């Protein structure tokens, strides 16, 4: 078979081949053994020192930062001692290209435990922050920031490793830029919602549990309810009908946001009323104040007040201003005040206006009917005839 392949085993001088192998390996096996012993000794001593430090010092502290630092040092020592030994052995055995690859791989791999250390450190900080806050917003923002930082650290290690191998990363970056542009155009709505979600996390116009109302000012159309979840793509609001409204974050950033509970539960209501010109305005104001003070949930201090806002075609426009204890009860309180005010106006003789029109009907000679019309001229008197007697 070997002869058919053009290879003749009988032509090989095995004695000469063995001599070359011995001549090549003889001066290298001892340096190789010394390199392995040095790497093992350095790792063993460092591991022993770190173990003593962890038992005598690290375990006695309450913080986790020193535990994470010791774990990072152990991982770095293990990777570095192994990579150094492999790099020196490849140099001794005259394999410089492979040694360069080992060195580059060591640089890239070294960033993985570093990324894990930074991630665990940020997680410890997140736990400290979340323990002091009650908002669910930090549970979304901080893990996102943690993942982004870890990804950047690993990407930096890969870039440094490629640069060490002499690989030009400029075409890769250009290709990544083109791909990123294509993806951004294809998913512009999703990216817009993600960016809006980050802005909501930074600006904090509302938090989970707040009672808010979203308005589109020109059309006065809004979503009203309690915030139950703030995601990176959308925000969920439970309205008073127990229906969950999912609003994209980019839509929220374009709308007017009314937060009823950010500054506290107590808010002021402005309830409009109208009374006829013939009514006693002072009496109407007294009745409204009495009604407001009788409703449960209305604050006595500051006291309710009533102001005149303006004049209409057949009414005087009043506005009752009251402070309430709980923002979520604003509609119930407004409804109860309006209902009681209707009865109080009826009992107190305050007239609620309604549209009025006065109709003047003229006779055939142009004079008002019943006021100076010529007798017997056939003109209507008090009838609804058309002007001109036609």
Q: What pLDDT is attached to residue 45? A: 86
Task: Give the pLDDT mean for 49-59.
Answer: 74
Note the CATH number of domain 267-348.
3.30.70.100
Q: Per-residue confidence at 218, pLDDT binned at 50, 70, 90?
A: low
Q: Per-residue confidence at 188, pLDDT binned at 50, 70, 90?
A: confident
Q: What pLDDT is attached to residue 78? A: 84
Lowest mean pLDDT among 13-17, 74-78, 239-243: 13-17
Task: Give the pLDDT mean for 164-174.
Answer: 76
Return the CA Rg of the chain. 43
* Alpha-carbon separation of residue 2 from 9, 16, 18, 326, 374 (angstroms): 8, 21, 21, 96, 144
Nearest 5 degrees, angle CA 186-CA 192-CA 194?
110
- Collapse the DSSP code of 357 into the 3-class scheme (helix H, G, I; strand E, B; otherwise coil) and give the result: coil
The rounded distance, in Å, linking the Cα atoms of 364 and 353 is: 35
This prediction has a pTM of 0.50
CB 245 within 8 A of CB 223: yes
Question: pLDDT per residue over 344-356, tens digit each?
Answer: 999 999 998 877 6
CATH 2.30.30.60 for domain 206-259, yes or no, is yes
Report whether pLDDT(380) > 60: no
The rounded distance, in Å, linking the Cα atoms of 64 and 298 is: 51
Strand partners, 10: none
The rounded distance, in Å, linking the Cα atoms of 338 and 83 is: 81
More confident residue, 117 or 201: 117
Alpha helices, DSSP H, located in 165-263: 170-186, 188-203, 249-253
Q: What pLDDT is attached to residue 141? A: 64
- Encoded tokens for 289: 């104040």
* Alpha-carbon separation of residue 277 from 202, 272, 350 (angstroms): 52, 16, 10
Lowest mean pLDDT among 82-86, 91-95, 160-164: 91-95
Lowest mean pLDDT among 132-146, 158-172, 259-273, 362-376: 362-376
Lowest mean pLDDT among 11-15, 95-99, 198-202, 343-347: 11-15
CB 235 within 8 A of CB 249: yes
In Å, how far from its chain's centre is CA 84? 46
Q: What pLDDT is attached to residue 378? A: 41
Report whether pLDDT(20) > 90: no
For residue 259, which phi and psi values (nearest 5 degrees)? -105, 110
Q: Per-residue confidence at 381, pLDDT binned at 50, 70, 90?
A: very low
Average pLDDT, the chain: 79
Report whether pLDDT(1) > 70: no
* Alpha-carbon separation of residue 386 from 90, 358, 359, 371 (angstroms): 116, 16, 12, 17
Residue 260: name the closest of 327, 339, 307 by CA.
327
Lowest mean pLDDT among 137-146, 184-193, 202-211: 137-146
């Amino acid at each position: 078979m070997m002869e058919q392949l053009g290879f003749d085993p009988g032509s090989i001088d095995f004695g000469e081949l063995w001599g070359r192998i011995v001549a090549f390996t003889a001066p290298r096996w001892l340096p190789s053994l010394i390199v392995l012993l040095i790497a093992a000794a350095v790792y063993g001593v460092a591991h022993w020192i770190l173990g003593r430090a962890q038992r005598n010092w690290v375990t006695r502290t309450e913080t986790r930062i020193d535990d994470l630092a010791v774990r990072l040092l152990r991982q770095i020592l293990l990777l570095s001692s192994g990579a150094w030994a492999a790099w020196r052995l490849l140099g001794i055995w005259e394999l410089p290209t492979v040694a360069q690859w080992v060195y580059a791989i060591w640089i890239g791999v070294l960033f993985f435990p570093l990324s894990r250390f930074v991630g665990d450190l940020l997680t410890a900080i997140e736990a400290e922050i979340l323990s002091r806050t009650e908002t669910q917003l930090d549970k979304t923002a901080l893990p996102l920031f943690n993942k982004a930082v870890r990804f950047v650290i690993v990407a930096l290690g890969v870039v440094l490793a490629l640069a060490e191998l002499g690989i030009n990363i400029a075409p890769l970056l250009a290709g990544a830029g083109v791909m990123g542009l294509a993806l951004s155009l294809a998913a512009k709505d999703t990216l817009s919602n993600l960016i809006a979600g980050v802005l909501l996390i930074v600006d904090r116009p509302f938090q989970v549990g707040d009672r808010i109302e979203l308005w589109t000012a020109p059309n006065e159309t809004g979503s009203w309810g309690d915030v139950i979840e703030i995601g990176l793509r959308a925000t969920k609001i439970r309205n008073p009908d127990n229906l969950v409204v999912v609003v994209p974050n980019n839509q929220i950033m374009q709308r007017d946001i009314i937060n009823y509970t950010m500054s506290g539960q107590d808010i002021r209501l402005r309830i409009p009323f109208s009374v006829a010109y013939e009514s006693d305005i002072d009496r109407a104001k007294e009745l409204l104040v009495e009604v407001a003070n009788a409703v449960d949930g209305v604050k006595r201090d500051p006291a309710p007040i009533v102001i005149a806002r303006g004049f209409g075609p057949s009414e005087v426009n009043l506005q009752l201003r009251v402070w309430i204890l709980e923002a979520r009860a604003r509609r119930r309180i407004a409804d109860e005040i309006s209902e009681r005010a209707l009865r109080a106006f009826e009992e107190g003789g305050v007239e609620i206006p309604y549209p009025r029109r006065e109709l003047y009907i003229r006779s055939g000679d142009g004079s008002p009917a019943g006021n100076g019309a010529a007798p017997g001229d056939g003109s209507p008197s008090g009838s609804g005839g058309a002007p001109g007697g036609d």
